[in-house]
């Protein structure tokens, strides 16, 4: 396929490179003028999307997505698929989808899970909202960029799935870090703690796959001085999106709200900015009971 790709940052860059490596013609644009192997650079977003069968965006937030959509939707060819892989608010995802559909395009919101490592390795999970025909067109691309793509229903449902998933992730990571910090103070060895919990009812992805304790479990950012695989700043962003959605839907999410407030303090008032979201463990380990 001919693919336009807008947003070639830490996530978009490797995704575009994997598509090019698989033999697709990828025309890319990023405001930072980055160079990606196999990707032909464009001078503007409209140049990137000209004649493309699928246009992929990977952008920081809903406001930027709406601005880019205003620019590229009129330039896209009829019947093309607008595939947004950004993590944004549900309202922005649905507004852009309506704009694309009105212009004769197919629209998908397909945020991802798997972080930079998943983008590089082509092992992302895509949570996809939008029409079935667009999903079928994009599926071969999902198979290159990831290992799983789930069609979650109409436009906006991909974003809904992403923020619900990451609300669970933020809550369970905090719980895992709290438990390790408590184990330390009770004299329980961290390896013993992992060996018990990872095979018991307290097991979770945060414990078993992404353990926040250095030297325990599979290799994770904790073993690299908490350099981010998934930054605490991004977890805060996703939790804020979840709380925004919860408010709009009149949903009671007390643990989500508590997690959002803890990550806000960690990122904005403490030393969490630029660290992995699992760096909550040293935070709790160094604190006493408030």
Residue 288: Cβ within 10 Å count: 5
166, 227: one domain: yes
Q: What is the CATH number of the domain that holds 228?
A: 1.10.1040.10
174, 46: one domain: no
13, 149: one domain: yes
Whether 77 is catalytic: no
User: Residue 93 is encoded by which pair of tokens?
Assistant: 């995802």
Q: What is the pLDDT of residues 222-251, one digit of tens each?
A: 999 999 989 999 999 999 999 999 999 999
Q: What is the pLDDT of residues 245-258, one digit of tens each?
A: 999 999 999 999 99
Q: What is the Cα gyration radius of the chain?
A: 20
DSSP 198: T
7, 148: one domain: yes
Q: 179: domain range?
A: 160-286
190, 168: one domain: yes
Sole residue written with tokens 């009105």: 102
149, 9: one domain: yes
Instruction: Work out how many domains the chain is built from and give that number.
Output: 2
Last residue of a domain, one of 153, 171, 190: 153
Q: What is the pLDDT of residues 2-40, one digit of tens each?
A: 999 999 999 999 999 999 999 999 999 999 989 999 999
- Contact indicator for 172, 206 with CB cutoff of 8 Å: yes
Question: Closest Cα to residue 263, out of 141, 154, 130, 169?
Answer: 169
**Predicted local confidence at residue 290, as pLDDT:** 72
149, 35: one domain: yes
Last residue of a domain, one of 153, 187, 220: 153
Give residue 223's region: left, alpha or beta (phi > 0; psi -120 to 50): alpha
**Predicted local confidence at residue 33, as pLDDT:** 86
CA 66, distance to chain mean position in Å, is 18
**pTM of structure:** 0.90
38, 144: one domain: yes
The active-site residue, picked from 139, 162, 185, 237, is 162
146, 9: one domain: yes
137, 210: one domain: no
Residues in the chain predicted with pLDDT less than 50, given as ranges, are none
Distance, CA of 141 to CA of 122 (rounded, Å): 10
**Predicted local confidence at residue 279, as pLDDT:** 98
Last residue of a domain, one of 120, 153, 186: 153
- Cα-flanking dihedrals φ and ψ of residue 187, to 5°? 80, 20
User: Residue 102 is encoded by which pair of tokens?
Assistant: 């009105």
Strands (E), 21-123: 25-29, 40-41, 54-57, 81-84, 106-109, 112-113
Task: Give the chain's length.
Answer: 290
80, 109: one domain: yes
Q: What is the CATH number of the domain that holds 88?
A: 3.40.50.720
139, 199: one domain: no
**Predicted local confidence at residue 116, as pLDDT:** 87
């Amino acid at each position: 396929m001919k693919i336009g790709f807008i947003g070639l940052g830490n996530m978009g860059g490797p995704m575009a490179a994997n598509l090019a490596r698989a033999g697709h013609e990828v025309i890319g644009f990023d405001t930072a003028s980055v160079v990606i192997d196999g990707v032909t650079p464009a001078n503007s977003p409209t140049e990137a999307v000209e004649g493309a069968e699928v246009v992929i965006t990977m952008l920081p937030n809903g406001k930027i997505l709406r601005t880019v959509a205003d620019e590229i939707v009129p330039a896209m060819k009829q019947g093309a698929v607008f595939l947004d892989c950004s993590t944004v608010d549900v309202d922005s995802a649905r507004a852009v989808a309506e704009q694309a559909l009105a212009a004769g395009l197919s629209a998908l919101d397909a945020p991802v899970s798997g972080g930079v490592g998943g983008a590089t390795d082509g092992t992302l999970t895509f949570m996809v909202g939008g029409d079935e025909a667009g999903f079928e067109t994009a599926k071969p691309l999902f198979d290159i960029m990831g290992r799983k793509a789930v069609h979650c229903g109409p436009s906006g449902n991909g974003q809904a799935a992403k923020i619900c998933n990451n609300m669970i992730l933020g809550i369970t990571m905090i719980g895992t870090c709290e438990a390790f910090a408590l184990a330390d103070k009770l004299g329980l060895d961290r390896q013993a703690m992992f060996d018990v919990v990872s095979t018991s009812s307290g097991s979770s992805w945060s414990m078993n796959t992404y353990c926040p304790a250095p030297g325990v479990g599979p290799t994770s950012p904790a073993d690299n001085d908490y350099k981010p695989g998934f930054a605490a700043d991004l977890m805060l962003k996703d939790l804020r999106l979840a709380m925004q959605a919860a408010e709009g839907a009149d949903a009671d999410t007390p643990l989500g709200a508590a997690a959002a407030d803890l990550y806000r303090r960690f990122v904005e008032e403490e030393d969490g900015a630029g660290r992995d979201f699992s760096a909550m463990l040293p935070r709790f380990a160094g604190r006493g009971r408030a």
